[in-house]
């Protein structure tokens, strides 16, 4: 039972509040992504969990035990830093088992553990190499193996894949997830990449300005964003100012009747309408909001149509091979698929 619980955590740097009353509970064995733009407090939260920063207020519990004042090396947490922080003067095996060496574990046990971990991260036989003899992806695996060497109760990673190129990164996201699942270790990863979070996480925690905006399963956050910030941050969406009145959505001078499945979290007044590009429908000009096509991008698997309606940009992603042919300069009628409209504050 290693549930990680955070209660009312705040962190001040001088007068600047990097974390503001953060509370959350992470069930045992879950893979959690802390997601948000640069400076939102993700790394600070991870460092407080690890014991590398002392909170200004609040507590950190693991399995019900208060860890807030427990020093880092006694928290049973494995860490992978963005910089990896591997030692050039040690071979791969000694890098991996360094956390065991500083805890006084004997050499034979360390060697055996290094072999096990090298197998786990799919680098069998590379224990004697030096770090500079490894590729970027291999170094990443060594850092992951080192973070796991102490058999941590909680595994913490700060932007672990950010230095990798896009294709290797996608591959490592899946591998990291598979390693985590095979061990069942409670894992918290910091990332600013929403696709990475959606790929790996059981639970995504979206942060902004030191405050949790929403915590939930990836698809819950994607389909039911708590506010306009979350809607805009997760996936691609069209965010349009609207007005809610008597259950109708008024947008760009048009009134749309709410339909079954629409998620309208605002009862009245100004709000934001979020519609994913795949739910934007195009027809003849009289069939919806009048918009002018500004750009068409054919990507093979879909066609992206960029439009301007009033002072708003709208993007539609259309399936390939659709009958409707549009070109820049055309006037079209835009509508939003009923049941796929989300209204948030």
State the angle between helix axes of 136-148 and 107-120 in degrees (0 to 180), rounded to the nearest 10: 130
Taking residue 261's Cβ as centre, other Cβ atoms within 10 Å add up to: 10
Asked if residue 60 lies in contact with residue 153, where contact means CB atoms within 8 angstroms, the answer is no
- How far is residue 125 from each of residues 84, 114, 116, 129, 164, measured CA to CA in Å? 21, 10, 11, 9, 23
Cβ nearer to ligand ATP, comparing 40 with 145: 40
Cβ nearer to ligand ATP, comparing 103 with 195: 195
Cβ at position 56, least distance to ligand ATP in Å: 12
Surface-to-core class of residue 185, CB atoms within 10 Å of its CB (0-12 exposed, 13-18 middle, 19+ buried):
buried
Cβ at position 97, least distance to ligand ATP in Å: 28
* Two tokens, residue 81: 């830093």
Cβ nearer to ligand ATP, comparing 14 with 300: 14
3-state DSSP helix/strand/coil percent for the chain, to nearest 5? 25, 35, 35
CA 215-33-161 angle, to 5 degrees, is 160
Asked if residue 61 lies in contact with residue 67, where contact means CB atoms within 8 angstroms, the answer is yes
Cβ at position 45, least distance to ligand ATP in Å: 7
Cβ nearer to ligand ATP, comparing 201 with 343: 201
Which alpha helices (H) appear in 75-122, and where do they start and end? Answer: 92-96, 98-101, 107-120
Cβ at position 164, least distance to ligand ATP in Å: 16
Cβ nearer to ligand ATP, comparing 18 with 273: 18
Chain residues binding ligand ATP by CB under 6 A are 13, 16, 18, 36, 38-44, 192
Cβ at position 200, least distance to ligand ATP in Å: 17
- How far is residue 296 from each of residues 226, 265, 292, measured CA to CA in Å? 31, 33, 11
Q: Which of 153, 317, 165, 313 is nearest to 239 (CA)?
A: 313
Cβ at position 142, least distance to ligand ATP in Å: 22
Query: For residues 207 and 19, what is the distance between their CA atoms, to the nearest angstrom?
Result: 10
Cβ nearer to ligand ATP, comparing 44 with 238: 44
Cβ at position 114, least distance to ligand ATP in Å: 31
Cβ nearer to ligand ATP, comparing 131 with 190: 190
Query: For residues 310 and 250, what is the distance between their CA atoms, to the nearest angstrom?
Result: 14
Cβ at position 194, least distance to ligand ATP in Å: 13
Query: For residues 35 and 193, what is the distance between their CA atoms, to the nearest angstrom?
Result: 7
Query: For residues 18 and 34, what is the distance between their CA atoms, to the nearest angstrom?
Result: 14
Cβ nearer to ligand ATP, comparing 42 with 113: 42
Cβ at position 82, least distance to ligand ATP in Å: 8
Cβ nearer to ligand ATP, comparing 43 with 315: 43
Judging by DSSP bridges, how do beta strands 16-26 and 4-13 pair with one another? antiparallel
């Amino acid at each position: 039972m290693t549930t990680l619980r955070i209660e009312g955590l705040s962190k001040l740097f001088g007068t600047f509040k990097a974390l503001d009353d953060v509370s959350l509970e992470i069930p045992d064995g879950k893979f959690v992504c802390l997601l948000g733009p640069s400076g939102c407090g993700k790394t600070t939260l991870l460092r407080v969990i690890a014991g590398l920063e002392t909170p200004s207020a609040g507590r950190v519990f693991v399995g019900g035990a208060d860890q807030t004042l427990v020093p880092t090396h006694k928290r049973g947490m494995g860490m992978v830093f963005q910089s990896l922080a591997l030692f050039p003067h040690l071979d791969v095996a000694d890098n991996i088992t360094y956390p065991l060496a500083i805890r006084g574990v004997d050499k034979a046990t360390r060697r055996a553990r290094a072999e096990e971990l090298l197998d786990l991260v799919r680098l069998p036989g590379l224990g004697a190499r030096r770090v500079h003899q490894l590729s970027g992806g291999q170094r990443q695996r060594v850092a992951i193996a080192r973070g796991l060497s102490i058999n941590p109760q909680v595994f913490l990673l700060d932007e672990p894949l950010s230095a990798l190129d896009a294709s290797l990164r996608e591959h490592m996201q899946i591998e990291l997830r598979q390693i985590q699942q095979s061990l069942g270790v409670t894992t918290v990863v910091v990332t600013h990449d929403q696709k990475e979070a959606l790929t790996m996480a059981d639970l995504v925690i979206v942060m902004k300005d030191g405050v949790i905006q929403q915590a939930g399963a990836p698809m819950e956050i994607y389909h039911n964003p708590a506010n306009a910030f979350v809607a805009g941050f997760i996936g691609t969406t069209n965010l349009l100012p609207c007005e809610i009145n008597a259950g109708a959505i008024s947008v760009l001078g048009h009134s749309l009747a709410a339909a079954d499945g629409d998620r309208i979290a605002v009862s009245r007044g100004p709000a934001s309408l979020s519609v994913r590009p795949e739910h934007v429908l195009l027809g003849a000009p009289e069939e919806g909001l009048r918009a002018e096509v500004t750009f068409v991008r054919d990507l093979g698997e879909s066609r992206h149509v960029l439009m301007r309606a009033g002072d708003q940009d709208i993007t539609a992603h259309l399936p390939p091979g659709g009958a409707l042919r549009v070109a820049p300069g055309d006037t079209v009628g835009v509508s939003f698929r009923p049941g796929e409209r989300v209204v948030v504050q």
